[in-house]
Each structure stands twice: as C-alpha cells, then as structure tokens.
Amino acid sequence: MRPPSLLLQLVAAVALIASTSGLSAESGPGSANNKPVTNAKDAKTLVSVSGMTASDYAECVAELAQKKVVLEELGNVTQQGCELSGAIRLATVATAFGDVNISGKPSMLCSFARQFSVWVREAGAPLTLAYTGQRLAQIEAGEGFACRARYDKPGVVPSEHAKGNALDIASFVLADGRRIRVKQQDSDMARDLVRALRTTACGYFTTILGPGSDPAHEDHFHFDSGMHGATPNYRICE
C-alpha cells in the first residue's frame, strides 16, 4: 500500500510545518483574539492595537505644527501584528535655542511626539547649551514604533514601542559636530549632561531606562509614556 503511506507522510510533513511556522488561524493579526500572542518561531504574531481618535490626532498635529515641529503625517500604520492609529514621523523640533533634528525620522503616536517635543524644548535643548556652550543640533534616535515584545522576549507583553509610545536615543550631537553618547562619555561635562538629561526625562515620561538599568539598555536611553498600573502616577525612573 505505498501510495496511501506516501500521502500520510505528506500530510504529516505539512502538519509539522504548520505547527512550527507559527502561522495558524488563531494567532494571526486578523483574528478576533486581541490578547498579545507571540510565538517563539515567529514574533509576527504579536498583536497590539493602539492609537488616538481622529479628532485627538487632528488636534495633536495642529498643535505640533503651531509649535513648528516638522513631521510627516502617517495616520494609520500597520507593522506585522501591530496597528497604530494617529501616527507621525518626527523630523525636527523647533526650540528657543534652534532646531533639533531627530535622525531617522522615527515613527510614533502623535501624542508621544508631542510629549517628546516638549522635553526637547524645555530640557534637552537648554540643558545641552548650558552644559556645553553649544546648541543641540541633533538627537540620534533608535527605534520609535516597532512591533515587538518587551525585551524581544516571545510570550511577553508588547513593548511600548509596539504601541508607538516609546523612543530610544543613542546620542546627542552638538552644533560643532561633537557627539555625546548615552553609552560612554569622554569628559566630566558630557557625563554630567547625560545625567541631567536623564533626570529631567523622569518628569516627562513614565519609564526611563538607560545604562545601569539592565543589559538591554547599556547603550541608549529608552523613554516611554506607558501606563504602569491603573494610573500614570507610577513611574520607572532608573
């Protein structure tokens, strides 16, 4: 009975591929199950839906335009299993001390961009000028919106990056071209500036992580505005 046996082997092989690929009707982004779902083989099954109402988004974009923040409107964005409504790309934040470019124009929710731009205006730009005598020309950003689990650990809740509510920062570039890295500073002045920037961020965001927090944040700051618990009062400021 060779033919049936071959057929069975084929069926078994297909079943094995299906079970290891992470692709199934239950775990797809389009499923009705909105709980975060991850799979060791395929993080694309991570499901996160977040965003702003259309009217809040319109108000946010108008407010940023009025503050001379340069951005690109993205509206609704889907990346793998994550959906954002009310997203923008953040390009430049105007401050009293000159324009600050955000490298890579990271995408994020407009509401997070609004909070981040306030920090750049009120703390990032003036502190940099005060400590270095040079204006802050550019913030070298890492990830903004990114559809992944916290610490990239499958099975864990989505990162605030997956909700468009976070930004990573690697360094600050001065008008004279000097680069002040979050990871390691080459002078006391640079070290003091990085510490001051980190401390002020605790007044603007709910989570601030960086060197010394954990191995995943040794070379960058992570700022987010996630809710830890029922209210935004609890903060992680490490």
Q: Contact positions toward Zn ion, by CB under 5 A?
A: 168, 222
Please, which residue, 83 or 168, has the CB nearer to Zn ion? 168
Residue ranges in the chain assigned as alpha helix (H): 2-21, 54-66, 110-119, 125-132, 188-201
**Smallest gap from residue 75 Cβ to Zn ion (A):** 23
Choice between 140 and 168, CB closer to Zn ion: 168
For 36, residues 6+ apart whose C-beta sits below 8 A from its C-beta are 46, 47, 48, 149, 157, 158
CB-nearer residue toward Zn ion: 64 or 166: 166
The answer for residues whose C-beta is within 8 angstroms of residue 158's C-beta and 6 or more apart is: 36, 46, 47, 48, 82, 147, 148, 149, 150
Q: Which residue of the chain is nearest Zn ion when measured via CB?
A: 222
Residue nearer to Zn ion on the CB measure, 23 or 204: 204
What is the chain's length? Answer: 238
Q: How far is the CB of 160 from Zn ion (least distance, A)?
A: 7
Residue placing its CB nearer to Zn ion in the complex, 57 or 220: 220
CB of 214 to Zn ion, least distance (A): 11
**Residue 84: CB minimum distance to Zn ion, A:** 16
Question: Distance (Å, rounded) from C-alpha 15 to C-alpha 103?
Answer: 45
Q: In whole angstroms, how close is the CB of 23 to Zn ion at the nearest point?
A: 28
When the beta carbons of 81 and 142 are compared against Zn ion, the nearer one is 142
CB-nearer residue toward Zn ion: 198 or 222: 222
Q: How far is the CB of 1 from Zn ion (least distance, A)?
A: 58
Task: Compute the distance between CA of residue 238 and CA of residue 79 in angstroms, rounded to an integer.
Answer: 29
Query: What amino acid occupies position 18?
Result: A
- Picking from 23, 57, 59, 17, the residue whose alpha carbon sits closest to that of residue 43 is 23
Name the 3-class secondary structure at 139.
strand
At 168, the amino acid letter reads: D
Phi-psi region of 15 (alpha: psi -120 to 50; beta: other; left: phi over 0): alpha
Beta bridge partners of 188: none
Residues sharing a CB contact under 8 Å with residue 199, sequence separation 6 or more, in sequence order = none
Closest distance of CB 238 from Zn ion, Å: 13
